[in-house]
Amino acid sequence: MSALDIRNVTKAYGPTTVLDDISLTAESNEFIAFLGPSGCGKTTLLRMIAGLETVDSGQIHIGGQRIDELAPGERGVAMVFQHYALYPHMTIRENMAFGLKNIKTSKTEIDARIGEAARILEIEAFLDKKPGQLSGGQKQRVAIGRAIVKKPDIFLFDEPLSNLDAALRMRTRLELAQLRRRLKATMILVTHDQVEAMTLADRIVVIHGRKIQQVGTPMEIYGRPANRFVASFVGSPPMNFLPVTVSGAKAVATLSDGTVFATAITNLPESRSWELGLRPEHVRVNDTGVSAKVEFVERLGERTLIYARLSDGTAITAEDVGLSRLNMGDEVHLSIDAQAAHLFDADGRGYHAETA
């Protein structure tokens, strides 16, 4: 039995459909990330699970029980909000106790649960402070603590790290990963940050254009993107797309300047047009290869990103060593690892080498 089972769920605001016939299951103790650009409906889907949005059609089940018609408090879920949503006039202890008091939990039980959560999250020192006296990171812990004490079947995280500065975000991300191992609960995270999704989730659900684009493990999403959108959205800097012609059973791609690549991709169908997909790490500055002109150089320390243009005008991003001597305007040669290439047909569907 799945921990979460979303069946053919649709949601519209007036004439605008935001989610169209979404189906998805999550296993017990699984960490799922909803990943997509702003406005793709990922938060709406999370809020429908929480009961903060109605479901137009379809059903949602948690632990085998249908919950989409229950009140939010009766669904066995706890949510960590983007802006924490701590009650400002209550102490941290009261914040954490509020939900338990409402379901008539005994005082000793409430104290025990708060004590345990506070110990796990190391927030014992400020249990009697008010949220206004805490820093952003501390508020985040309290928000998670308020969810933990409820012992929910499913934790829902709505972009929980987006309000933290870069350093704190990284630390909290690590802590969230550790917490997840300790709590052994089903968790759903909404994020537009692919690094968060890649590092935290067991499976990523990429949502775009009202639909689920792909469901898979982080490396499946990265290595075998189902379509051009997933390929372009996941990965930073994004994948290169080069128009090519394709021939042969083991696809041989030809660039507009006549350069030929033998890819490892087989069993391609017919298509009006093809695009070759190449991650920047598979395009390297070299002594030989396709020639291009450097337009911009981004020095990241351990590596250098080269933004260049091929002779036919196609933009391409390549990688060079950290101490690259390249400058804007230089002519370079780029060697392309065709074995790691992806192909996308006219409809954007992705094809990958069997080994990739």
Partner 1 sequence: MSHSRNQKWREVGVLISLIVLGLIMVSPLIWTVMLSLKSNGELLRSTANAFNPPYTGENYAAIMANSGVFRWLLNSAFVSTLQTLGVLILSSLAGYGFARLEFPFRNQLFLIVLFGLAIPEQAVIITRHQMFADLHLHNTYPGLILPGLAAPFGVFLMTQYFKAIPKELDEAAMLDSASRFKIFWKVLLPLTLPAQATLGIFTFLASWNDYWWPLISATRADMFTLTVGIASSQINFAQTSGLGYLMTQAVFASLPILIVYIIFQKYIVRAVAGAAVR
Contact residues toward partner 1 (CB under 8 A) are 50-52, 71-74, 77-79, 81-83, 85-89, 98-99, 102-103, 146, 150
Give the CA angle between residues 213, 45, 14 to the nearest 5°: 100
Closest CB 255 distance from partner 1, rounded Å: 51
Burial-class residue 294 by CB neighbours within 10 Å (0-12, 13-18, 19+): buried
Closest CB 83 distance from partner 1, rounded Å: 6
| Rounded-to-integer distance, Cα 176 and Cα 271, Å | 44
Is the CB of 147 or the CB of 341 nearer to partner 1? Answer: 147
Distance of CA 183 to the CA centre of its chain: 21
Is the CB of 103 or the CB of 249 nearer to partner 1? Answer: 103
Q: What per-residue string of b and e applies to 256-277 under the rule 16 or more CB within 10 Å gives b?
A: eeebebebebeebeeeeebbbb
Phi and psi at 254, nearest 5°, equal -125, 125
Closest CB 310 distance from partner 1, rounded Å: 48
Taking Cα atoms as reference points, which of 333, 334, 344, 292 lies closest to residue 314?
292
Closest CB 94 distance from partner 1, rounded Å: 10
Closest CB 196 distance from partner 1, rounded Å: 20
Taking Cα atoms as reference points, which of 33, 22, 6, 26 lies closest to residue 153?
26
Is the CB of 98 or the CB of 307 nearer to partner 1? Answer: 98
Is the CB of 83 or the CB of 325 nearer to partner 1? Answer: 83
Helical (H) or strand (E) element with 212: strand 211-216
Is the CB of 43 or the CB of 317 nearer to partner 1? Answer: 43
